Amino acid sequence: MSKQIDWSQPLSDEERAWAEQFPGLHAGMLEANAAQFPAKAEPSLEGEDEPVPPYSQWKVSELQDEAQRRNAEEGKNLPVTGTKAVLIKALEDDDTASEQ
């Protein structure tokens, strides 16, 4: 059984699986193709595993944006103006209330 593979293009999963059955014939070509067309990394869920810094490290504009987001998306009534301390307290209180 033979299969026509265009080694000058990235291989499909099916082509790669087929060629890997015959390492004596295709090992060099598989290696060269993989070097020429590296596999793309799986897309990660942005921000999913990244730790969120404490609010004290956020900029005032970021705190305001977060308060506005919660107000719009979650129906909250958080202040979006005021000092950094006021914004932090409002977000922390909201976090505590949401956890309970």
How many domains in the chain?
2
Do 65 and 93 fall within a single domain? yes
Report the distance separating Cα 43 and Cα 89, nearest Å: 35
Do 65 and 32 fall within a single domain? no
Is 46 part of a structural domain of the chain? no
Is 49 part of a structural domain of the chain? no
Report the distance separating Cα 11 and Cα 4, nearest Å: 12
Do 2 and 26 fall within a single domain? yes
Owning domain of residue 30:
1-40
Is 35 part of a structural domain of the chain? yes
Decide if pLDDT at 98 tops 70: yes
Do 30 and 59 fall within a single domain? no
55 DSSP assignment: G
33-90 confidence digits (pLDDT tens): 888 888 766 665 665 667 889 999 999 999 999 999 999 999 999 999 999 999 999 9
The 10 Å Cβ neighbour count of residue 61 is: 8
Is 11 part of a structural domain of the chain? yes
Q: State the pTM of this model.
A: 0.52
Is 48 part of a structural domain of the chain? no
N-term to C-term CA, the chain: 64
Do 34 and 7 fall within a single domain? yes
Is 47 part of a structural domain of the chain? no
